[in-house]
Amino acid sequence: MTVTSRTRRTARLATTGAFAAVAALALAACGGGGDGGDGGETGGDGGGDASGLELVADGTLTVCSDIPYPPFEVEDSSAESGYSGFDMDVMQEIATRLDLTLSVQDVSFDALQSGAVLGAGQCDVGASAMTITEERAQNLDFSDPYYDSLQSLLVPADSGVTSLDNFSGSLGVQQGTTGQSYAEEHAPEGAELIEFPSDGELWPALQGGTIQGILQDLPVNVEHAKADSSYVIVEEYDTEESYGFAFAKGEKPNLLAAVNEQLQAMRDDGTYDEIYDGYFSAEG
């Protein structure tokens, strides 16, 4: 699938287009994090200074995420934070480089993407496969993009569905997501959209026959198709989506700068590729 090479290229590039302006404004607000301030600066060895990062709890990077959403976030008792997945592993690496302990809170995606839990000070950053959009950027600040994604349609292998155009029945989407927006715009008249709070309800609903398909992020549907061969992805949609880590609007400029700096350092030293390959190399 083309998402692999495309993701790597974008992950190494600076934010482009309209989203570049969002990131630039956020970094400008903190003076770039390198003019003698104590937030966002890191030493030459990749370690970070945790002072001045506007953290909810001293010494802890508190992350809010909608879990489960494999392969981006899953419960994992063997992981230091209790969670693993691509997002969680990247966040763990960033926390380690900033000499912080990672703490994860499970929240609804809608409350996260709206900015409600971040604005309330419940957590420092949102890491939940969240697409950067202009609408969300009105209430949130975003890190540099760290992953490209496509949307996709997952259906039973024996359904006879070959594309969204000939889909009929109940189509499951996750509320508040770009997948829902795409379905609302492109689904045919014969499709009834049913909203679910998370993939944790979507996938069982498809398996139980409550819905006849799921339209959501490609990597998540890929995981389901791998887990059960009686379901297949029949179509992919290039919506030019990039994921970003989210922050309360205008409230954590130093932390935003520090996260961007560590993301770049991870790309430069190969750590990003190592984490990425652990989850997505099979898609290539």
One fold for 3-146+244-283 and 149-240: yes
**CB of 141 closer than 8 Å to CB of 247:** yes
| Architecture in CATH for domain 149-240 | 3-Layer(aba) Sandwich (3.40)
Tokens standing for 175? Answer: 């509320």
Residue written as tokens 């508190």? 62
Instruction: Tell me the C-alpha distance between 126 and 104, whole Å.
Output: 10
Residues of the chain with pLDDT under 50: 1-49, 282-284
* Cis bond upstream, residue 197 (ω within 30): no
Q: Provide the pLDDT for residue 29.
A: 37
Per-residue pLDDT at 130: 96
pLDDT score recorded for residue 278: 94
Residue extents of the structural domains in the chain: 3-146+244-283, 149-240
- For strand 213-217 and strand 169-174, is the pairing parallel, antiparallel, or unpaired? parallel
CA–CA separation, 58 and 100 (whole Å): 9
* Residue-level pLDDT at 255: 98
Residue 50 confidence (pLDDT):
60
**CATH architecture for segment(s) 3-146+244-283:** 3-Layer(aba) Sandwich (3.40)
